[in-house]
Structure 1
Amino acid sequence: MKSPDIDKPASADDETNQTKNGFLALVSKMVFEEKLPVRFMYKTVPEHLNDTGWRMFTGYETPEYLEDEITNLIPVDVDKMVKLDPSITDLVEYNAGTVWERAPEGDGWERVHDYRIPSAFTEVNITNDVDEFSGKS
């Protein structure tokens, strides 16, 4: 059995062959309310069965705007986004961990490798105390 070549760069097939689930992306309301194009997008691990993991933004969102996800990000069918902006058609095939951006003066998308995709924070308490674990203390 031949071992994989770890020095070999990933091909487009390697980066788009993930099992596909869901059909929704979370999209900034600015895309629709302000009629601004998507200029920054990333794919995270999907949060539920209908979620593709794609998050799409205009690039003008402030940190405060992004903190209020429930108000400012809306679930939109990825097919609707592709019809709205055909330039993302091939990009939405990529796996989780992929980040793309395009400059306001440009039309072409560039792959981003230095952006850390945010993840949901889950607080976990670890204990070896049986009484504390069962809520008796």
Structure 2
Amino acid sequence: MEEGGSVRWLYREKPDREEDSGWRLFEGTENDEYNSHASNISIVNVYALLDKDPSLITPLRGEFGTAFEREDINRPWTQINDWDGL
């Protein structure tokens, strides 16, 4: 959620703890090395996300095991049906 960035890829897995929604959100250009550093990962309040990008309401309604992507913030969300990343 850095300035000028937007969520372009997200998926939902089983939560790690009670307060966890299970959603994992990405800008879409992160690599494994970037994601392996805990300092690059943060917990964000869902309302803060929706304030920044109201279109997130569509994918955030998804069930566990769902994934969504889009080309950029001006494009619609597409559910990924053949994703087996879980």
Runs of 4 or more consecutive aligned structure 1 residues displaced over 4 Å after TM superposition: none
Q: Identify if the C-alpha distance between structure 1 residues 45 and 107 changes in structure 2 by more than 3 Å, giving closer, same or farther.
A: same
Matched, 1:116 2:84: yes
Matched, 1:53 2:10: no
SS at match of 2:51: helix
Assess if the C-alpha contact under 8 Å between 1:44 and 1:53 holds in 2.
yes
Tell me the residue number matched to 1:40.
9
Q: Greater Rg, structure 1 or structure 2?
A: 1
Count of residues in correspondence between the two structures: 86
Q: Identify if the C-alpha distance between structure 1 residues 105 and 81 changes in structure 2 by more than 3 Å, giving closer, same or farther.
A: closer
Tell me the residue number matched to 2:42.
74
SS at match of 1:80: helix
Tell me the CA shift for residue 105 of structure 1.
Answer: 7.9
> CA–CA distance in 2 between the matches of 1:56 and 1:77?
12
Identity %: 30
Deviations 1:87-110 (CA, angstroms, capped at 9, x unpaired)? 011321211101000013851111
Question: How do 1:1-137 residues align onto structure 2 when only pairs under 5 Å count?
Answer: 31-32=1-2, 34-68=3-37, 70-104=38-72, 106-118=74-86
SS at match of 1:42: strand
Could you tell which deviates more after superposition, 90-99 or 50-59? 90-99
Assess if the C-alpha contact under 8 Å between 1:44 and 1:117 holds in 2.
no
Q: What 5-or-longer segments of structure 1 have no aligned partner?
A: 1-30, 119-137
The structure with higher relative contact order (CA 8 Å, sep 6+) is 2
> CA–CA distance in 1 between the matches of 2:43 and 2:32?
19
